Each structure stands twice: as C-alpha cells, then as structure tokens.
Amino acid sequence: MSAMRLFGLGALAVLLGLDCLARLLRWRRGGPRALLKEVLFFPVDVTCVEHLFRPGEALPNSCPCPLPHGQETSFTRLLRHLLSANTSLDLCIFAFSNQSLSRAVLLLQARGVVVRVITDKNYMAISGSQISALRRAGVNVRHEMGAVYMHHKFAVLDGRLLISGSLNWTTTAIQCNKENMLVTEEPDLVQPFIREFQRLWDSNDPARHCPHG
C-alpha cells in the first residue's frame, strides 16, 4: 500500500515538474501566443496590391495592371495589417494622401468598422489629401486645434494592434523616403497610444470650440 502511495506521489511530482517546465518554456517564448512585434522599413518598390482588396478572387495572377504581382513588401504588410481591423480603427495622422491606404480605410468603414481620424488642420487641406474623401464617406474626422503640428503617425486597430513610426500616409513617404513603421500588440506600448488618442479626440471635439448663445 505504501509502495503504491509512493509510486503515486512520485508520478505526481514528475507530472507537476513536466507541466511547470512546459509552461515555463511557453512563457519564455512570450506567452500562450507570442505578441506581434514587427518593424517595417521604407521606401518600397511599387507593386500591385489589388489582391489585398479582393481576397476571394483569382488575383493576383489574373490582374492586368502593369505593376509587379505577388510580391510581399513593407507596404503590402502595412495594408494587410490595416485591413485586418474587425471592430475599430483609430488613426492619428499628420499627412494622408496615399490612395491605397485611403481605399483601405474606406473599405473598413463600409464593412462597419468604427473609424475615427485625427489629423493636422493645415495638412488636411493640401493638394491630394484624402481627408475630405474620408469625410464624404461618413468617416468621423477631427483636426487638432491646439498644436503647431499634429505630427503623429499612428493607428490603433481593434484596441489591440499599434502601427506607429516616422511614415506619413503619403505616396512619397512609401516610395521615396527612408521611413520606419513599428507594428506591435505589446500592451505596455499599445495602451498609452489608446489613452492619448482618446485624450486628443476629446480635446478636439468641435462642440467644445463653438460657444453657443
């Protein structure tokens, strides 16, 4: 009887040890599922991105456009991340003129994703800006009223994924400049941006800046 108990306890100890070891190794790798941490550098060569907007269709091979097809670049990665939003997109952007990024935001809006945009009061009016196209499509846009420049270039998707860096959402930045974008789900980095977005959103509520009566 005591030999049985001893055997049982021994087996328990071994199982416990193995379980703890497995958990330890999992945590060492960054948790049950590793949090996304990715860095994108620019400029990139121009490639066809049509297949990202029509994932169910027989693209990219059948697309007739003259651009290179089927290539993964920092820009296709950025577009893929952006288009992965399911519930919300909070975008805080100094300059926004790139048409593919605008198309992606409009697609999200059409899908029912709650899109909020904060932008710069001067740069939203420059030639090629996509801000008025977003507004026409019903996207909720506010512009910064209290700073020289609203110079941020960040987006938070689904309150979970942060995209932030030096890159304005312009074609020059994407195709001609040396730029970076950091993409992460790390909560210690994402949460401060969520709070800052809400702070800027609230402080630039147009209702607060239009005294009545």
Residue ranges binding its own copies (CB under 8 A): 2-3, 5-6, 9-10, 12-13, 16-17, 19-21, 23-24, 27-28, 37-39, 41, 43, 92, 94, 144, 147-154, 164-167, 172-173, 176-180, 182, 184, 186, 188-189, 192-193, 196, 200
Output 51 or 153, the one with its CB closest to its own copies. Answer: 153
Residue 158 bears catalytic tag: yes
Residue 153 bears catalytic tag: yes
CB of 19 to its own copies, least distance (A): 8
Output 21 or 110, the one with its CB closest to its own copies. Answer: 21
Enclosing H/E stretch for 154: strand 153-157
Which of these is catalytic: 121, 151, 209, 212? Answer: 151
CB of 123 to its own copies, least distance (A): 12
Output 27 or 138, the one with its CB closest to its own copies. Answer: 27
CA–CA distances in Å: residue 71 to residues 55, 105, 129: 15, 22, 27
CB of 165 to its own copies, least distance (A): 7
Which of these is catalytic: 45, 121, 158, 205? Answer: 158
CA–CA distances in Å: residue 42 to residues 28, 38, 45, 62: 31, 13, 9, 27
For residue 126, report the phi and psi dihedrals to the nearest 5 degrees: -70, 160
49 by Cβ neighbours in 10 Å (0-12 / 13-18 / 19+) ranks as buried
From CA 192, how far away is CA 194, in angstroms rounded?
5
The candidate with the shortest Cα–Cα distance to 156, out of 117, 109, 103, is: 117
CB of 134 to its own copies, least distance (A): 19
195 residue type, one letter: R
Which of these is catalytic: 152, 153, 202, 205? Answer: 153
Indicate which residues carry an active-site annotation.
151, 153, 158
